[in-house]
Amino acid sequence: MNPEFIDGVRVFRADKDEIRKWTGEYYFGYTSNPGGVNPVIWLRNDLPECVQASVLAHEMYHAKDSKFHSSSLLDREVRANIAGVKAHPLGFLLGIWLSITDKDRLRLYLNRLTKNF
């Protein structure tokens, strides 16, 4: 699997099961080493393009967020979500809909809220 380079960040696109295999969770997007050197973004390629655009902007914000590690989970996710809304408002809303109608995504959110990761 070859990455794309977007704004100097490696972006791997993969389907739901591949993303889970690589990240351990059913993420729409995931950034390894956020706010650090050579971050890598994982992005679901089986979502509508407008959702991918919003998720990519969200993850790109994490990738370049110099305050990532000094912020609370809520603060850093709010900042990244603002980036996702600005990039594609409809894609952001559709992403919420696709999350609240997917049992794997709901389980992920419950785990994140209770285990704070």
Closest CA to 6 of 35, 31, 41: 41
Q: How far is the CB of 38 from Zn ion (least distance, A)?
A: 19
Strands 4-6 and 9-14: antiparallel
Interaction of residue 80 with Zn ion, rule CB under 5 A: yes
Q: Which position has the token pair 């952001």?
A: 92
Number of residues that bind Zn ion (CB under 5 A): 2
Q: What span, in angstroms and rounded, lies between the C-alpha atoms of 100 and 29? A: 16
String marking each residue 33-72 x if it binds Zn ion according to CB under 5 A: ----------------------------------------
Q: How far is the CB of 28 from Zn ion (least distance, A)?
A: 9
User: Would you say 59 and 84 are in contact if contact means Cβ atoms under 8 Å apart?
Assistant: no
Nearer to Zn ion, 2 or 100 (CB): 100
Interaction of residue 19 with Zn ion, rule CB under 5 A: no
